[in-house]
Amino acid sequence: MTTTAEDQIRDTVTSNDVVLFMKGTKTMPQCGFSSRVAGVLNYIGVEYQDVNVLADDGIRQGIKDYSDWPTIPQLYVKGEFVGGCDIITEMTLSGELDQLFDTKGVAYSKDAAEKIRETNA
């Protein structure tokens, strides 16, 4: 049985609480948007699985089809697509990301999230 990109993506988003499909890795992002989202998650201490779409063309196209969202990065929390860079940035600054993590039972640093908001106020 051949595993399709869609199967791999579904397995990844359902077996990890938080997944970031990005260009590069959490320690070595390869684009500004991926770097910004990974930076937020790293800063507020969220444990997440990073998937480098540059390493696999099937996944790179597959994730866009899977979410019906044209751009990367893409953040998933508990199997649900949350959004890309602009949405995550907005949610971080409005406090919605905190609420989402609270609701879904994802651990993060509230103090660090507050610091981001203070810095960007």
What pLDDT is stored for residue 90 in this prediction?
Answer: 97
Known binding site for [2Fe-2S] cluster: residues? 31
Known binding site: residues? 31
- Boundaries of every domain in the chain: 5-120
Neighbour-count burial of 29, counting CB atoms closer than 10 A to its CB (0-12 exposed, 13-18 middle, 19+ buried): buried
Which architecture, in CATH terms, is 5-120? 3-Layer(aba) Sandwich (3.40)
What pLDDT is stored for residue 74 in this prediction?
Answer: 98
Q: What is the pLDDT of residues 53-64, one digit of tens each?
A: 999 999 999 999
What pLDDT is stored for residue 2 in this prediction?
Answer: 74
Stated pTM of the model: 0.95
